[in-house]
Amino acid sequence: MKTFLAAALLCLSFALPVTARADEDAFSGLTTTQFNVIATSVSQIAQEGGPRALPVLRALSDHKLFAAKEGDGLFIQTDSGWQDARTGAAATPDPEMVRPVRLNNHVRQAVAAAEAQLQLIAGTPAERQAAATLLYQRHDPAMLPAIDAALGKTDDASLKTMLQDARAATLLTPGAPPSDEQTQRQAVATLYAAGGLDARGVLTQATTSEALAPATRKDAQDAVASIDRSLRLWGFGQDAFYGLSLGSVLLLAAMGLAITFGVMGVINMAHGELMMIGAYTTWLTQRAVMSVAPSLGSFSLILAVPAAFLVCGALGILIERGLIRFLYGRPLETLLATWGLSLILQQVIRSLFGPTNVAVITPSWLSGSFHLGGLEITLNRLAIMIFAIAVMGGLMLVLRRTSLGLEMRAVTQNRRMAALMGIHTARVDALTFGLGSGIAGLAGVAVSQIDNVSPNLGQNYIIDSFLVVVFGGVGNLWGTLAAAMTLGVGGKALEPIVGAVSGKILILVLVILYIQRHPRGMFPLRGRGVES
Q: Which residues bind other proteins (CB under 8 A)?
A: 261, 265, 267, 323, 326-337, 339-344, 346-347, 350-351, 459, 463, 466-467, 470, 501-502, 504-505, 508-509, 511-513, 515-517, 519-520, 531-532
Tell me how far apart the alpha carbons of residues 362 and 468 are, in angstroms, rounded to a whole number.
27
Cβ atoms of 387 and 252 closer than 8 Å: yes
For residue 237, how many C-alpha atoms fall within 13 Å in the half-sphere facing its CB?
13
Query: Rounded to the nearest whole angstrom, what is the least distance from the CB of residue 261 to other proteins in the complex?
Result: 8
Considering the complex, state which of residue 302 and residue 508 has its C-beta at the smaller distance from other proteins.
508
Query: Rounded to the nearest whole angstrom, what is the least distance from the CB of residue 228 to other proteins in the complex?
Result: 29
Tell me how far apart the alpha carbons of residues 510 and 508 are, in angstroms, rounded to a whole number.
5
The phi, psi pair for 527, rounded to 5°, reads 180, 165
Query: Rounded to the nearest whole angstrom, what is the least distance from the CB of residue 531 to other proteins in the complex?
Result: 5
Positive or negative torsion for Cα 446, 451, 456, 458: negative
Query: Rounded to the nearest whole angstrom, what is the least distance from the CB of residue 31 to other proteins in the complex?
Result: 50
For residue 117, how many C-alpha atoms fall within 13 Å in the half-sphere facing its CB?
29
Considering the complex, state which of residue 134 and residue 315 has its C-beta at the smaller distance from other proteins.
315
Strand partners, 100: 66
Query: Rounded to the nearest whole angstrom, what is the least distance from the CB of residue 441 to other proteins in the complex?
Result: 20
Query: Rounded to the nearest whole angstrom, what is the least distance from the CB of residue 511 to other proteins in the complex?
Result: 7
Tell me how far apart the alpha carbons of residues 138 and 132 are, in angstroms, rounded to a whole number.
10
The phi, psi pair for 377, rounded to 5°, reads -105, 115
Amino acid at 475: G
Query: Rounded to the nearest whole angstrom, what is the least distance from the CB of residue 461 to other proteins in the complex?
Result: 12
Strands, DSSP E only, in 78-147? 82-84, 90-91, 98-100
Strands, DSSP E only, in 57-101? 65-68, 74-77, 82-84, 90-91, 98-100
Tell me how far apart the alpha carbons of residues 498 and 506 are, in angstroms, rounded to a whole number.
9
Tell me how far apart the alpha carbons of residues 320 and 334 are, in angstroms, rounded to a whole number.
11
DSSP state of 177: P
Query: Rounded to the nearest whole angstrom, what is the least distance from the CB of residue 419 to other proteins in the complex?
Result: 14
- Quickly list H helices, 375-529: 379-401, 403-413, 415-420, 425-447, 457-472, 477-498, 500-517
Contacts of 131 (CB under 8 A, 6+ apart): 115, 116, 117, 118, 119, 120, 123
The phi, psi pair for 148, rounded to 5°, reads -60, -45
Task: Compute the CA torsion angle 462, 463, 465, 468 (nearest 10 deg).
Answer: 170
Query: What is the longest distance spanned by two Cα atoms in the chain?
Result: 115
| Residue-by-residue DSSP string for 303-319 | HHHHHHHHHHHHHHHHH
Tell me how far apart the alpha carbons of residues 325 and 266 are, in angstroms, rounded to a whole number.
10
The phi, psi pair for 93, rounded to 5°, reads -75, 155
Query: Rounded to the nearest whole angstrom, what is the least distance from the CB of residue 458 to other proteins in the complex?
Result: 12
Query: Rounded to the nearest whole angstrom, what is the least distance from the CB of residue 481 to other proteins in the complex?
Result: 19
Amino acid at 319: I
Q: Which of 180, 175, 129, 191 is nearest to 154 (CA)?
A: 129
Task: Compute the CA torsion angle 199, 204, 208, 210 (nearest 10 deg).
Answer: -10
Strand partners, 453: 358
Strand partners, 376: 371
